[in-house]
Amino acid sequence: MYKTIAETAVDLGMPEDQIMRLVYEGRIRSVYDGEQTLINSGQFSTYFKQLERIKEEIEIWRSTPIPEDIDVKDED
């Protein structure tokens, strides 16, 4: 499904100017139809999968308790 730059920016949660910059740099594939630039939203499926995996890893990291330091001696 093809979307405009504005629709893609909303879907990705990024500013439109950043999406346009990535299109001009060639990091996002796009098609110009004579009036507007269209972006195939299917190319972001891997991005969303990786984003979910990273969110899960961060949640696991946050929920892991910090281990006691074995070198600490209780001296009064």
Any idea what the CATH number is for the domain that residue 4 is in?
1.10.10
44 is in which domain, residue-wise? 1-61
In a domain, 67, yes or no: no
20 pLDDT more than 60 = yes
- What's the whole-number mean pLDDT along residues 44-64? 89
Whether this model's pTM surpasses 0.95: no
Taken as a whole, the chain contains a residue count of 76
pLDDT above 60 for 76 = no
Count structural domains, the chain.
1
**Which residues lie below 8 Å from residue 32, measured CB to CB, with a gap of 6+?**
38
Specify the pLDDT at position 75: 65
**Does residue 74 surpass a pLDDT of 80?**
no
In-domain check, residue 71: no
Residue 40: strand pairing partners: 2
Average pLDDT estimate for 40-60:
88
Q: Does residue 34 lie in a domain region?
A: yes
